[in-house]
Amino acid sequence: MGEVPEGYNAGMDSATAERLLALNREFYDRFGDSFSTTRQRLQPGVKKILDSIQNDESVLDLGCGNGNFLHEIGRRGHKGALLGGDFSLPLLREAESRPGVSFREVDLSKLSAIGDQLSTSGGWSVITMFATLHHIPSQEVRMSILRTVKGLLKPGGRFVLSNWQFLNSEKLRSRIQPWSRVGLSNEDVDEGDYLLDWRSGGEGLRYVHHFSAEELTALAAQAGMRVNESFASDGENGRLGLYQVWIST
């Protein structure tokens, strides 16, 4: 797998990673509808990316949620292929309730096994992953996803991702919960891993990783891509989302 980026504990075992993935699956199955009501408008950073996409470029949106991003592209009269994938059935039902874009159920943690089902002739021009990678635990699972993404891109294609910078918000920091609530300890998880609660429509818990720009740059290099652009946007003082554009080399 190559050198582990600084800030990672390479010791997270596969059983712990699967427990955290299951925790998030349960969360989005249970709270998908109420979560979607908080995501009816595109974030400023997503709008910036939207404006950079050419009319004839093909776009695959992984972790597409309720599909707002792709539907907005389609609304603009886009000519290229559009496809969204997510594992949350409540969110996919909402995405599919509007015509014009194709969606399918996709478990990103198993992307390497199903990547061929998402391929397009010549490769995708753009693959996006907004507010999604931070829900994927362990170096091993992340790298499997990112290398599959590179394989799905056309040469020189762009991978665009955003990750939550919740530590920049005092309010969001107050949502951090002890790992004991899910039967784990700090020693079981990696540096930068957190458990956050949810308080809309009931109480839930989610696994989230807080990425630094340096961590992401190291991951890009390991996946055979390079960072072409990095910027902060969204939320309080425009600091709650870290966006990067990677180029497939």
Band (138; pLDDT cuts 50, 70, 90): very high
Which of 202 and 92 is assigned the larger pLDDT? 92
pLDDT of residue 2: 35
Residue 68 to residue 40: CA distance in whole angstroms:
7
pLDDT value at 237 more than 70? yes
Write the CA distances from 194 to 139, 165, 185, integer angstroms. Answer: 15, 12, 11
- Over residues 73-125, the pLDDT tens digits come to 999 999 999 999 998 888 898 899 888 899 999 999 999 999 999 999 999 99
Closest CA to 207 of 128, 114, 127, 142: 142
Closest CA to 48 of 125, 156, 108, 128: 128
pLDDT of residue 174: 95
pLDDT value at 152 more than 50? yes
pLDDT of residue 90: 84
Q: What distance, in Å, lies between the first and last C-alpha atoms of the chain?
A: 18
pTM over 0.85: yes
pLDDT value at 1 more than 60? no
159 pairs with which residues across the strands? 127, 246
Triad 108, 111, 112: Cα angle to 5°: 150
Domains of the chain: 50-165+210-248 (3.40.50.150)
